Amino acid sequence: MRSLYVRSFGSKLIWGLVSSFVIVVCVGLTAQTEETRMEIQTRNWEGRGIENGAVIFANNCATCHGQQGQGLQGVAPALNSRYFFTRRLGDVGQDGVMTLSNYVYLTVAAGRPSKDNSQWANRMVPWSSQFGGPLRGDQVVDVVAYVMNYEETALQQTASEDPFQPFLDVAKPPEFQNIGISADAEWTPVQLAVTSVLPMGDRDPDYLFGALACSGCHKLDEPQAPSSMGESGPNFGTIHELGTYRPEAAADPAAYIKESIVSPDAFRVESYDDAMPDDFASRMTEEEIDRLVQWLLDPDRVTHTRDAEGNIIDE
Amino acid sequence: MSVQSPAPQKKPWFLALLSALDGIFVYLTAGISTREFRAMLRGDAPGRPNTRLTPHADAFLLHIKPSYYHESVTRFTHTYRLGLLSTYLFLFETITGIILMIWYAPTPERAYVDMIRLLNNVPFGQLMRDLHRIGAELMVGIVTLHMVRTYLTGSYKPPREFTWLTGVLLLVITLFLSFSGYLLPWDQLAFWAVTIGTSMAEAVPPVFVGEIINLLARGAPDIGASGLLRFYLLHVLFLPLLLILFFFVHYYKVVLYGISLPAQEEEVGEDTANRVPANRRVYYLPEVLLDEGTFLLAVTAIITAVTVFLFQAPLEHIANPQQTPFHTVAPWYFYWLQGLLKIADKMWAGVIIPGVLLVMLMAIPYLDRNPSRRGADRRVATISGIVAGVLMIILSWMGTPAYAVQGAPALEVVEKLMPEEKVGISRKIGYKHIPLGTYDSREPITTDDAEFAKLLDEFVHLLEVWEEKAPDFNDPWGLLTVTQDQANLKLLRWEITWISNAGTEEYFKQDYWLHKDSYYWEQYGRKKFGVPEFLEMQNGG
Ligand code: HEM
Ligand code: HEM
């Protein structure tokens, strides 16, 4: 084999010089493009943070705040909302005290300790592991970035498009919340009470399940099992098999379920607190309740997609 | 009373200055005068006595280098400079590593965030990280090649058995160094590779010993804050010190016995490396030094160029102990172990076989009693070496997900198109090439975007491939629904429906979000950070 050993002194020096030149050029090129690179990287990681946040939102928040952040009546406020991005901070007296992003961060991390003056069925739990919640610090940061990313669409909403429901916890009475909110004169709170849009009478069970906010605490597509207990209320994915979670009621599950709706405190599994409202009997007709119970026990139950007026919009 | 000092000799001031400068030069070079230096540059032969040897006696760094070599071992094709290169890469890693330490804190809360901060906000931060990473991969490879070369030239034979043995220890330390560094970015890739790695230690019998080893390495039953701290300390302190220690033992032996000559240079059974005839000496100063210097400069130039234009150290999602990735992979140099694990149980694959291999590797000089280092006399050794190498490559291939790991077909299809980590076709064509809409694999592809058409085409194709390949995956069809979830954020919903053998309809769904700015660099084949048009391109131009 011919040896590759370069004996010539001069050629070695030239090799050394060429190599040094290459190094200098590479480092120089890097130096020149560092600003752009750092900018691109910053945006890249912000973008990926929002992607991560989207997953966390879908898995943890969307059941109450809606897949599109539109909120759920009586369960949780809209986040994809112009009111939320323009007025909320002021209404809770934090304007100039903190940024909205910090406010969201605090709320997500520490939850809402009190239910006073609020119309929401449950208080929001702390999400950060720092306060005993299920999310790591970085996940809280990412989901906050995702929520804040609603800003662009939220600010384009007109008053009637804003899915927001007035909060009852603010200093000003809800009727006045709209004052000065924008140039849109017709900005008025849409619904004040926590009721369904459709009149009482013959509403479909799947509609009631959403409109009366059952869905905020009960998951329809997840089984209730020791390894998969619903967090705020039992899951209903397997309710038709189990019938009921109360052994002595096995003979007549429908009666028991009805009792649970009408007077939730009659029997309660210990791990759940008494978050379930006890006024459902006054918000549904007897017939509606019966149909709801049958629907829950139906293994092939259907849930329709509906618009804001309650009309079915899926095929 | 005054003391009469002898009158100082008058010298012109510039001569005095020159001789002072010469003195400094001699001082700095530990014994080379400027005159001698110029003679070196001219290529003059050394004088007698040879003053070029003084630095080898006086200077610390040079005293461990031999003052001359046998001409035959200075040929590139004898050692390929692999030992030198291993040493240099360690130095290279130490320097880049210490720089990285400035921005790195080894806690689960900070490690990953620090990585991102390093990439986002530190000028040259990404370069340093990429250099450290590429150097690490390279070092493992080069040290292994160095071992192969000393094996093939029979350089482990007496008197160099101990050199070989310390070499094997150095290889093990290098592997552990690289492996311990692997965890530090604290991403999914790192976390799960290290979880698999340390779980192998668990198989050490008896059970409680295995558990203790695992516990010691991880600092808790699972890797967490303590495990990260331990790996960090191993990585930046303990293992480097250990490597330095064994390197000096190794290198002392190399110098003591001299680098083995090419086998043809001496009689079988003889060792004449240290008896270099005067006419075949090549002095370290200046020839070999210049030679090594230019070689290392050239290597550095190549590493830098590759890093600047092509290479980027991976950084996946942050480590998530709750979420096992679709495919967990060890670093490539442990693929062979992962391959073994697929065909044998943990005890055999994780402990017994690697243990026996390691002992055998160390014992090679004592097992191979053939005194000849000539290729023609060592057919058995050469062939068994090659067989071992091929086996390693096959095992490594078996260690990759390509072999005998198969997820559910629907998952495999989506994983190809839009994987959990890395790019995949969807992220490769990127946000702007994925139009909103619903696309059904059973309907003809109608899209104006050629790139997107390719993606849909591949979707259809993959469904066909898996229908053929998987027994329980009949008549599959897929749906891709792209919606605008938020400003600059698209939601890609992949849905696959198929009929199982039992005749029931099965369904699989996977949601992935894609942000306009998220930059999966593989997208562009090479780094284009610097190109200003790139920014515009990203802005949707
Ligand atoms: C960090 C790892 C290592 C470093 C820094 C290192 C360094 C060196 C250096 C500088 C030499 C001088 C000659 C040459 O370049 O070939 C050498 C020789 C040698 N090394 Fe290594 N080495 C390492 C690992 C190994 C390994 C893994 C083995 C084998 C298992 C090994 C076995 C040997 C032997 C047998 C020699 C003598 C070669 C001869 O005399 O021809 N070394 N080593
Ligand atoms: C004293 C020497 C060294 C120091 C002080 C050091 C320090 C560090 C530090 C602070 C990190 C974390 C930064 C990061 O992950 O990018 C790191 C990562 C790493 N180190 Fe080292 N290191 C040294 C030597 C080595 C050596 C010799 C190897 C390989 C043989 C190695 C392989 C790695 C690897 C593979 C990573 C992960 C790189 C990445 O993905 O970013 N290091 N090292």
> Where do the structural domains in chain A lie, given as residue ranges?
51-176, 205-297
Whether A150 and A59 have beta carbons less than 8 Å apart is answered as: no
Q: For tokens 């160099």, what's the residue?
A: B160
Tell how far the Cα of B390 is from the centroid of ligand 1, in angstroms: 22
Q: Where are the alpha helices (DSSP H) in B368-449?
A: 379-399, 409-417, 424-429
Q: Ligand 2 pocket, B236 CB below 6 A?
A: yes
Residue B228: its pLDDT value, please?
A: 96
Residue A19: its pLDDT value, please?
A: 97
E strand residue ranges, chain A = none
Average pLDDT over residues A298-311: 77
Determine the 3-state secondary structure of A65 from DSSP. helix
- pLDDT tens string A251-268: 788 888 888 888 887 777
Of the two residues A211 and B531, the one the predictor is more confident about is: A211
Q: Which of A8-12, A148-152, B105-109, B479-483 has the lowest mean pLDDT?
A: A8-12
- Model confidence at B302: pLDDT above 90: yes
Determine the 3-state secondary structure of B88 from DSSP. helix
- pLDDT tens string B144-169: 999 999 999 999 999 999 999 999 99
Longest dimension (CA), chain A: 102
Residue B174: its pLDDT value, please?
A: 98
Backbone angles phi, psi at B491, to 5 degrees: -110, 125
How remote is the C-alpha of B190 from its chain's centroid? 14
Backbone angles phi, psi at B333, to 5 degrees: -75, -5
Whether B293 and A16 have beta carbons less than 8 Å apart is answered as: yes
Backbone angles phi, psi at B427, to 5 degrees: -70, -25
Give residues 153 to 192 of A whose Cβ lies within 8 Å of B: 153
Q: Who contacts B248 (Cβ-Cβ below 8 Å, separation ≥6)? A: B64
B290–A1 CB contact, under 8 Å: no
Tell how far the Cα of B146 is from the centroid of ligand 1, in angstroms: 6
Length of chain A: 315
CATH of domain A205-297: 1.10.760.10
Tell how far the Cα of B235 is from the centroid of ligand 2, in angstroms: 7
Q: Where are the alpha helices (DSSP H) in A115-245?
A: 137-148, 151-155, 205-211, 239-242
Percent of chain B with pLDDT over 70: 94
Q: Ligand 1 pocket, B180 CB below 6 A?
A: no
B221: left (phi over 0), alpha (psi -120 to 50) or beta: alpha
Atom of ligand 1 nearest to the CA of B259: 40
DSSP annotation string for chain A: --------HHHHHHHHHHHHHHHHHHHHHHHHHHHHHHHHHHHHHHHHHHHHHHHHIIIIIHHHH-TTS--BTTTB--SS-HHHHHTHHHHTT-TTTS-HHHHHHHHHHH-----TT---SSPPPP-BGGGT-SB-HHHHHHHHHHHHTTHHHHHT--TTT------SSSSS-GGGTTTTS-S-TT---S--SS--SSPSSS--HHHHHHHTTGGGT--SSS--BTTB--SSS---TTHHHH--S-GGGTT-HHHHHHHHHH-GGGS--TTS-S-S-S-HHHHS-HHHHHHHHHHHH-TT-----B-TTS-B---
Backbone angles phi, psi at A272, to 5 degrees: -100, 145
Tell me: domain A51-176, CATH 1.10.760.10, correct?
yes
What are the structure tokens assigned to B90, written together?
């360690």
With beta carbons under 8 A apart, name residues in chain B contacting A66. Answer: none
Whether B329 and B195 have beta carbons less than 8 Å apart is answered as: no
Q: How confident is the model at residue B410 (pLDDT cuts 50, 70, 90)?
A: very high
Task: Residue B198: count other Cβ atoms within 10 Å of its Cβ.
Answer: 21
Q: For tokens 């973008």, what's the residue?
A: A47
**Domains of chain B from N-terminus onward:** 13-63 (no CATH), 76-261+285-330 (1.20.810.10), 409-538 (no CATH)
Q: Which of A197-211, B397-411, B420-434 has the lowest mean pLDDT?
A: A197-211
Q: How confident is the model at residue B362 (pLDDT cuts 50, 70, 90)?
A: very high
Distance CA B514, CA B428 (A): 11
Task: Residue A88: count other Cβ atoms within 10 Å of its Cβ.
Answer: 21
Distance CA B232, CA B105 (A): 9
Question: For a pocket test of ligand 2, which of B87, B184, B421 has the largest count of ligand atoms closer than 8 A to its C-beta?
Answer: B184
Radius of gyration of chain A (CA): 28
E strand residue ranges, B212-337 = 281-283
Residue B120: its pLDDT value, please?
A: 94
Q: Residue A113 carries which DSSP code?
A: -
B301–A38 CB contact, under 8 Å: no
- pLDDT tens string A101-139: 999 999 999 998 666 666 677 778 899 999 999 999 999
Task: Residue B265: count other Cβ atoms within 10 Å of its Cβ.
Answer: 16
For all residues of chain B together, what is the average pLDDT? 90
A15 touches chain B (CB under 8 A): yes
- Model confidence at A169: pLDDT above 70: no
Whether A133 and B108 have beta carbons less than 8 Å apart is answered as: no
Pick from A284, A25, A50: which is nearest to B530 by CA? A25
Distance CA B154, CA B375 (A): 9
Pick from B149, B184, B126: which is nearest to B73 by CA? B149
Average pLDDT over residues B447-469: 94
Q: pTM of the full predicted structure? A: 0.84
Distance CA B217, CA B226 (A): 9
